[in-house]
Amino acid sequence: MSESNKFNSRKISSFLPTDTRIFALGGMGEVGKNLYCIEGDDEIIIIDSGLIFPNEELLGVEYVIPDYTYLIKNQEKIKALFITHGHEDHIGGIPYLLRVCNIPDIYGPEFAIALVEKKLEDARLLANTTLHVVKNTTDFRFTSKHFHVAFFHVVHSIPDSYGIAIKTPNGWIMSTGDFKFDLTPVGNNSDYQIISFMGQFGISLLLSDSTNSAVHGFSISEKQVAKSISEIIAKTKGRLIIATFSSNVHRIQQIISGAIAHNRKISIVGRSMENVVQIGRRLGHIHASEDDFVDPELLNTYPTNKICILCTGSQGEPMAALSRMANASHRYIKIIPGDTVIFSSNPIPGNEISVNSIVNSLTRLGANVLTNSLLNNLHTTGHASQEEQKLMLQLVKPKYFMPMHGEYKMLKTHADTAVETGVPEENIFICANGNVVVLRDEEAFLWEHKIPTDDIYIDGNDSSGIATAVLKDRSILADNGLVAAIVAIDSRTNSILCRPNIISRGFVYIKEGQMMLKEGELLIYEALRKKMQQKTTFGELKNTIRETLEPYLYSKTNRQPIVIPVVLNYIDSEFRK
């Protein structure tokens, strides 16, 4: 068997009710919308329920969530949802899941549960489930007929980050969650002893974070970033504006501590940043008094060298606070020459153009812009690099391995890393969403079939999602525009009352395309006149309009606008569609 075929080589055509099935509805082949399920006979437990933010190709889409159809059909089996940490790609989908599916209990770390509670309160869904805070991982145990669940601490860029170990009738499963190994962490350290003990005890299947599988070496410590930011704060003469992820609570704490140490008032700008800081202070993860903060509208009453603005927008999001500052549309804050703007983040792949545009706009307004580079450690990742992934694999020593949380290349690279640490290639499963790994008597196999999965696009407040066809229409509208053909008929006499009228929007300039549109009106008239010589329906008339107009417009312009036929029927002295 060739090397490329050794992964996923252990296959099975069917499974037994006593088998344990492991599958993802989101998080495989992508970075985001994590949702992993473990099923045994009549029970299902879920790990995380996240979303992903759309790229620029998804026009008008606010969020992308997994397809919950399988869970809806099997919701009587669902025992609980377990949360590893409070990032949006792990908790952002919970309100949408609860709208369509019964989840009796949600367990998770304190900070994550606080964020979930706020989401459910805003969505008026708090009564739909019971939230359980897991403070002491040593004492926590969840037990059902088929599963025993335990949490353990890992280091990530948000407080209270957990991995999960699940005992099943067919062997132990471990999910690392998002993790890194930071030997000088801010906050809790990883539970090295528990992870190592579980490895000695025997893990049948390991699911591990693959996000940084292509990054060599070890990631730098969060404390090195804090030191660099503190040095910049000390040297900065004027106003300081720092943009970072609102979910990176450890970074926010370091920035706030640095500002306080250098006698600067902190102004929090951006709704998500405000929510996280409020919850972080309440739970003791962010240490600052009320006097250390100042409202944005009062910034002009303080000297510029006594101000530190902490804001959202490090990824160039159009509506975020920093973007509005860059285009001079922010209500309270205008960029002035001498401002220092720090991007304490790296651009997520796909956001580079947006971030560069913001950097250029800020520089043009006179700001000194600092981004992460080899010269200054302004950001570190919360995900394990290759050597940290190897360490996890060496501590756990899994019999079977299933890389998760990453695009296909990330999963494949992580699989190659696992081979280097001694995991046999045939014991590694590189899965897509919907693939099912079957665990039977501590042996793992890949089911030859898949659970149907898809992306659900959320537009505004519509939690039901929009179809791929809608996005296709939006793309056509953006590229080719719209043409409406309006025809008035009298169904009693089966006649056309007047010449059809074509209206164009976003297709051609009316003056330049006037002759073409007039010819199109004549073509429609002739086609309908022939069609109406026999008995017909409104649907057939609309199809005739499309079939006539679409090829004609394409022959003239090489473009295919959306054609909307409107047929008005004259009955009882009024027109009706």
**Enzyme catalytic residues:** 209, 383
Radius of gyration of the chain (CA): 29
Instruction: Write the single-letter amino acid at 83.
Output: I
Cα separation, 172 vs 183, in Å, equals 27
Spell out the residues 6+ positions from residue 518 whose beta carbon is closer than 8 angstroms to its own. Answer: none
- Are the beta carbons of 101 and 124 closer than 8 angstroms? no
| SS3 of residue 306 by DSSP | helix
Q: What is the largest CA-CA distance in the chain?
A: 87
Neighbouring residues of 155: CB distance < 8 A, sequence distance ≥ 6? 161, 179, 180, 181, 182, 185, 187, 188, 189, 190
Return the amino acid letter for 175.
S
| Helix, strand, or coil (residue 82) | strand
Nearest-angstrom CA–CA distance, 238 and 254: 20
Instruction: Tell me which H or E stretch contains 419.
Output: helix 408-420
Residue 373 buriedness (CB in 10 A; 0-12 / 13-18 / 19+):
exposed
Question: How many Å apart are CA 355 and CA 374, to the nearest integer?
Answer: 18
Q: Is residue 445 a contact partner of residue 10, using CB atoms and an 8 Å limit?
A: yes
Beta pairing, strands 443-450 & 435-440: antiparallel
Q: Is 123 exposed, middle or buried (0-12, 13-18, 19+ CB in 10 A)?
A: middle
491: nearest Cα among 569, 543, 565: 569
- Report the sign of the C-alpha dihedral through residues 9, 14, 18, 22, in that order: positive
Mapped onto helix, strand or coil, the DSSP state of residue 269 is strand
Q: How far apart (Å, rounded) are the C-alpha atoms in residues 571 and 495?
A: 13
